[in-house]
């Protein structure tokens, strides 16, 4: 069974929003590495608007987790790419609602662009669950 301990230890800067500086994973468990999720609906169409793309990216992430018997509480690492720094507040609010108090490790990057100019957000994640 995997045992996961999240920490923001003394000597490291304390997080500026809801995330942890480290996740120590010990023991046995299932590890899921999830490709970047963007604002595409399951039918392949892009949702309009950057905030809607955040919501769809998180919905897609939830679907991938669920397909493997996991949920948001199993996420140990998120990497988020935004094309507009003005989206940081919306990202944090929606991430916090999605994670429901869980604070995995996280990296947030503001980038010049993603795979297509229409994509405004991309979310990668890693999750660990007990067998």
Walk along the chain (131 residues) and give the pLDDT tens digit of each residue: 888 999 988 888 888 888 898 888 988 888 999 999 999 999 999 999 999 999 999 999 999 999 999 999 999 999 999 999 999 999 999 999 999 999 999 999 999 999 999 999 999 999 999 76
CATH architecture entry for 3-129: 2-Layer Sandwich (3.30)
pLDDT at 78: 98
pTM, two decimals, is 0.89
SS3 sequence of the chain: CCEEEEECCCCCCCCCCCCECEEEEECCCEEEEEEEECCECCCCCECCCHHHHHHHHHHHHHHHHHHCCCCHHHEEEEEEEECCHHHHHHHHHHHHHHHCCCCCEEEEEECCCCCCCCCCEEEEEEEEECC
């Amino acid at each position: 069974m995997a045992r996961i301990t999240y920490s923001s230890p003394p000597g490291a800067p304390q997080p500026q929003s809801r995330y942890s500086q480290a996740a120590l994973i010990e023991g046995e468990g299932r590890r899921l590495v999830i490709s970047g999720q963007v604002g595409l609906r399951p039918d392949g169409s892009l949702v309009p608007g950057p905030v809607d793309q955040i919501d769809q990216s998180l919905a897609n992430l939830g679907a991938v987790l669920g397909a493997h018997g996991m949920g948001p509480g199993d996420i140990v690492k998120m990497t988020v790419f935004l094309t507009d720094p003005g989206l940081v507040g919306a990202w944090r609010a929606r991430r916090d609602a999605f994670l429901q108090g869980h604070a995995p490790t996280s990296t947030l990057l503001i980038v010049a662009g993603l795979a297509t100019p229409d994509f405004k957000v991309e979310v990668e994640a890693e999750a660990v669950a007990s067998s």
